[in-house]
Each structure stands twice: as C-alpha cells, then as structure tokens.
C-alpha cells in the first residue's frame, strides 16, 4: 500500500504532463533559419536544425500573370483569359535544374544524385527586371535580352527530371475582367506540409545558378535563394473576403511528366 503522501503527490500531477507539439513553422521563422545558413557559408545552425520534422503552413497572395509579371519560380499566380472569359488561379511545384544550383563554395548545393530536378513552391519572392540590352546568343546572333533576377525562399524536394512540375490544383470561374481582378485581389492560397532533410542535420541549402561552365551565352534569368526540404501535403484556395475555402487539394507526389 502506497503512503498517503505519495498518493497525494500523484493526485497533484494527474493528468500526466505531455509535451506540447511545436507550432507550424512560419515563413518568417524559415526565413530566419535560411539567413542563418546563408551567413554561415552553408553550415547548418540551431535554427535550421530545429525545423526538421515540423509542419509548415503559410498563406500567399497570388501574383498576376502577364508579359511583365514578377512571378518567382513556384509562386502561385492568377490570370484572366478574355477569349474564354475565364479567371484561373493555380499553384504548382515548379522544376529547376539542380546541377547548376551551386553553393558559396561552387559545389552542387543539393546533396542528391546528378541530373535531378528541384521541385519548389516559393513563399518568399523577390523579383526584379533590369534594362534591356543587346547580347550575342549561342548562334552568334545579336538579340535583345531583358535580364531578370529572382531570389526565393522555398519549400522544395529533389525528383527525377522526367517530372517537370507537380500540380497542386487550380481554381477557375467564368467572369468578366472586373470580376477577375476582384478575385485576384481577394483570393489567397494556403499551403501546408512537413519539413524534412536534404541530408542528416541539413534542412536548408542555399545557393545560386551558375552557368559559367558553358562555352556559349546562356540567356536565362539569375536565380538564387534558400530551399527548405519539405513535402507539400495540402493546398487550399481561399476567398479571403468571405473566409470560404473554394478548393481543397490533397497533394500527391506524382507529377506531370516532361515531354
């Protein structure tokens, strides 16, 4: 028989204490962890290591498509198509060649097999256009080139290059241009999933594209950023004016194959 004092202490501690689950990682938290990796020359720190296994969630305002758009790789976007009188909002994990994404030391930033595609959805997007200029292309012809620069922080995984992007659903409705612009201003995309690791202890890699190995000019935009390893599991298309979820998508790993 247990002493009365022991029973009294047990009563005080009932129910047993359970450790609280960590909250979902926010864009601000992941950006801070990315900055830690970037400033350390690629080394993992306590902020980035603390993300492993946690869930993430963020809500993004989509950007408008068009010839002068400012849409980063893997960022949600919307467009209005007058011929069909159609508004469309979509999100996808866009592919990016991992072989030319190098870290500060000039090594492949993604610790994966060669010739892999990085599938990413950006939650932080800084996109700029530079003045047009005349340059020589790979055929020795003078062409007009408008350089672009994009810097992202993104959720990403490495997949075989046969999969060029992973569709995460799209919301569309028939409307006029004014209606499309109202929807473009009010719709939002909420994305959630779980953070993983590129390698043990490494949840984030940072780098930039480098095409200097080519003997001919490569007329592509400059791309740099930090990639948080993670899998998108759910995408919700929300009308922020009413709070209504217009479309709820559970994301599968299978993607659209390149042709």
- Residue 2 in domain: no
- Residue 14 in domain: no
Q: What is the pLDDT at residue 14?
A: 55
Residue 149 has pLDDT above 60, yes or no: yes
Between CA 209 and CA 195 the distance in angstroms is: 24
| Average pLDDT over every residue of 80-91 | 96
**Sequence-distant (≥ 6) Cβ neighbours of residue 253 within 8 angstroms:** 166, 231
What is the CB-side half-sphere exposure of residue 30 using CA atoms within 13 A? 32
Residue 59 has pLDDT above 90, yes or no: yes
Between CA 211 and CA 236 the distance in angstroms is: 36
Between CA 251 and CA 167 the distance in angstroms is: 8
**Terminal Cα-to-Cα distance of the chain (whole angstroms):** 75
Residue 54 has pLDDT above 70, yes or no: yes
Q: What is the pLDDT at residue 98?
A: 86
**Which has the higher per-residue pLDDT, 132 or 180?**
180
pLDDT > 70 fraction of the chain, expressed in percent and rounded:
83
- Residue 43 in domain: yes
CA nearest to 189, candidates 164, 173, 167, 169: 169
| Average pLDDT over every residue of 105-129 | 86
What residue numbers bound the domain in which 34 lies?
Answer: 21-257
- Residue 107 in domain: yes
- Residue 6 in domain: no
Q: Mean of the per-residue pLDDT values for the chain? A: 85
Note the pLDDT tens digit of each residue in 3-46.
Answer: 554 544 455 555 555 455 678 999 999 999 999 999 998 889 99
**Tally of domains in the chain:** 1
- Quick check: 39 and 31 in contact, CB under 8 A? no
pLDDT > 90 fraction of the chain, expressed in percent and rounded:
54
What is the CB-side half-sphere exposure of residue 52 using CA atoms within 13 A? 14
- Quick check: 155 and 57 in contact, CB under 8 A? no
Local structure of 237: helix, strand or coil: strand
**Which has the higher per-residue pLDDT, 116 or 118?**
118
Note the pLDDT tens digit of each residue in 191-234.
Answer: 999 999 999 999 999 999 887 766 556 666 789 999 999 999 99
- Residue 232 in domain: yes
Task: For the chain, give the number of residues.
Answer: 259
Between CA 70 and CA 77 the distance in angstroms is: 10
Partners of 247 in beta bridges = 237
- Residue 53 in domain: yes
Question: Residue 151 region, left (φ>0) first, then alpha (ψ -120 to 50), else beta?
Answer: beta
Q: What is the pLDDT at residue 144?
A: 83
Q: Lowest-pLDDT range, 85-89, 188-192, 230-234, 255-259?
A: 255-259
Indicate the pTM of the whole model. Answer: 0.84
- Residue 67 in domain: yes
């Amino acid at each position: 028989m247990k002493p009365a004092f022991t029973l009294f202490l047990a009563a005080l501690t009932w129910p047993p204490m359970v450790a609280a689950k960590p909250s979902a990682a926010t864009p601000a938290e992941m950006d801070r962890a990315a900055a830690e990796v970037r400033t350390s020359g690629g080394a993992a720190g306590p902020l980035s290591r603390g993300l492993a296994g946690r869930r993430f969630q963020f809500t993004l305002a989509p950007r408008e498509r068009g010839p002068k758009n400012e849409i980063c790789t893997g960022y949600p976007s919307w467009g209005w198509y007058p011929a069909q009188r159609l508004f469309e909002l979509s999100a996808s994990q866009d592919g990016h060649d991992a072989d030319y994404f190098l870290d500060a030391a000039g090594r492949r930033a993604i610790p994966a097999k060669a010739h892999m595609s990085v599938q990413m959805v950006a939650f932080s997007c800084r996109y700029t256009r530079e003045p047009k200029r005349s340059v020589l292309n790979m055929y020795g012809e003078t062409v007009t080139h408008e350089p672009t620069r994009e810097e992202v922080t993104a959720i990403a995984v490495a997949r075989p290059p046969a999969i060029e992007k992973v569709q995460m659903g799209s919301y569309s409705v028939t409307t006029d241009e004014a209606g499309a612009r109202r929807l473009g201003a009010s719709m939002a995309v909420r994305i959630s999933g779980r953070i993983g690791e590129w390698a043990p202890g490494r949840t984030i890699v940072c780098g930039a594209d480098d095409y200097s190995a080519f003997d001919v000019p490569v007329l592509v935009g400059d791309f740099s950023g930090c990639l948080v390893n993670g899998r998108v599991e759910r995408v919700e298309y929300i009308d922020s004016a009413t709070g209504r979820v217009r479309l709820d998508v559970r994301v599968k790993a299978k993607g659209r194959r390149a042709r």
